[in-house]
Amino acid sequence: MIQNQLKNRFAKIIIVAILFAGCHKADTSTPDTFPTTEQTVLNDFADNIAVPQYADLQAAALDLNTKITALNTDATDANIEAARTSWKSLRTVWEQCEGFLFGPVEDNEYDPQMDTWPTDANQFDSLLNSSNALELSDIENLPYSLRGFHPIEYLIFGEDANKSAAELTDRQKQYMMSASADVVNICNSLYSSWTEGSTTFSQQLKTAGNGSTVYETKQEAFNAIVGAMQGICEEVGDGKMKEPYEAQNPNIVESPYSNNSTTDFKNNIIGLQTVYLGKNGSTGITNLVSERNKSLDTKIRSQIAAAISSFDNITIPFEEAIINQRTQVQQTMTALNSLNETIEEELMPFIIQYVQD
């Protein structure tokens, strides 16, 4: 009996203790590593992902310019092939950079300056057939739909990705020279915006919630990063792939001249994966998520991996796949939709719930 009463009293004390403990986060008694991880992830994102990838972009743009200069000097098929390879490498870097489309790339319109789609074919032809000057400064004043990757793509690949160097006219050569110099300048500006000046964007991101004038809280910075992940996932699954798929219209795919669209899409999601996992051993969003919700982390990792590998099932150019490999295209879009849903409905709320500074 006495023992029972004691047990009872003990139970009551526990209940009261629990009631009072209710307001406190039980884990605050032990040092919480979460805020430290937040800062590390932001630092690593800027220093190990964004800045190095923009540096790679700069280098890739310069390489394309070099190859195009060589092609201009000596219009051989080997040189046009080298230019094509370089164009594709530049696209690989750029599409991966699209995994984090926020900040200067967007605010200063570097993205539309070099990657507006579609190319205005009528105006492009009119301009080539005219005697208007095609120096760099002339290209810089053109509408975005006549600048950047896709006009260059058209010039070096031709309608069916098999253009010979001999087909290049003098005007076309002039255009590709100026357009690729323009791309070099844009990529340089993009890189500088993260690295040069008194307040670099890199600094703005790393001081989120701690003096940054762009991100008053860390939560805002993470919202931007995760929002960009979601944005690219949605753009690929719901836009770039779905629109031509539903219309069964090969004319509206992203990189139609180079047959590079599927690779573009895959690289977009690889870019997203880099943001999530980190790069070269750095931390990523995964480190935050796994500290609080291991199963969500596992889910996101596996959904990203599934989406990326599903692209390999599309074995013919995307222009044809929307007609002849519809099941495979559909499967990839489904994988992207699942990932998109997880980011939107679980990862974004996770950030809002746990990133409180």
Partner 1 sequence: MKKVWIIFLIAGGIATLTRCNKADVFPDDGYDSRLSGGAATVFDATSKAFTHPISGMSARNLQFHELGDAQFEQTFVSAPAPVNSGLGPVFNNVSCISCHHNDGKGTPTAGFNNSSLLIRLSLPGKDANNGPLPIPGFGSQLQDKSVFSSMPEAQVNISYTDVPVTYPDGTVVTLRKPSYQLVNPYIPLPATYELSPRMAPPVFGVGLLQAIPESTILSFADPDDLNGDGISGRPNYVYNDVTKTTDLGRFGLKANVDDLAHQVAFAFQQDMGVTNYIEPQESTEGQLQYDKLSDDPELPDSIINSVIFYVKSLAVPARRNVTDPDVKAGEQLFAQISCAKCHIPTIQTGVDLSLPQISNQRIHPYTDLLLHDMGEGLGDGRPDFLATGTEWRTMPLWGIGLFPKTNGTPFYLHDGRARTIEEAILWHGGEAENAKQQYMNLNKTDRDKILKFLNSL
Cβ(193)–Cβ(104) under 8 Å?
Answer: yes
Indicate which single residue of 81, 138, 238, 346 sits in contact with partner 1 (rule: CB under 8 A).
Answer: 238
* CB nearer to partner 1: pick between 167 and 216: 216
Does 251 interact with partner 1 (rule: CB under 8 A)?
yes
68-73, Cβ contacts within 8 angstroms, sequence gap of 24 or more: 68/152, 68/156, 68/176, 68/177, 68/180, 69/177, 71/156, 71/165, 71/168, 71/173, 71/176, 72/173, 72/176, 72/177
List, in order, residues 6 or more apart from 242 with CB less than 8 Å away. 333
Helix (H), strand (E) at residue 247: helix 242-247
Does 2 interact with partner 1 (rule: CB under 8 A)?
no
Binding span for partner 1 by CB under 8 A among 59-67, 73-81, 124-132, 169-177:
124-132
Cβ(40)–Cβ(287) under 8 Å?
Answer: yes
Indicate which single residue of 113, 259, 274, 310 sits in contact with partner 1 (rule: CB under 8 A).
Answer: 113
Q: Least Å distance between CB 57 and partner 1? A: 20
Does 121 interact with partner 1 (rule: CB under 8 A)?
yes
Q: Least Å distance between CB 77 and partner 1? A: 29
Binding span for partner 1 by CB under 8 A among 16-24, 46-54, 64-72, 73-81:
16-24
Binding span for partner 1 by CB under 8 A among 8-16, 39-47, 259-267, 309-317:
8-16
Indicate which single residue of 73, 137, 248, 249 sits in contact with partner 1 (rule: CB under 8 A).
Answer: 249
26-33, Cβ contacts within 8 angstroms, sequence gap of 24 or more: 33/291
Q: Least Å distance between CB 46 and partner 1? A: 16
Q: Least Å distance between CB 308 and partner 1? A: 23
Does 281 interact with partner 1 (rule: CB under 8 A)?
no
Nearest C-alpha neighbor of 229 from the set 350, 102, 321: 102
Q: Which residues of 192-231 are buried (b: 16+ CB within 10 A; e: fewer)?
A: ebbbeeeebbbbbbbbbbeebebbeebbbbbbbbbbbbbb
- The residues binding partner 1 (CB under 8 A) are 12, 15-16, 19-20, 22-23, 102, 106-109, 112-113, 116-123, 126-127, 130, 143-145, 214, 216, 220, 223-224, 227, 231, 234, 238-239, 243, 249, 251-252, 352
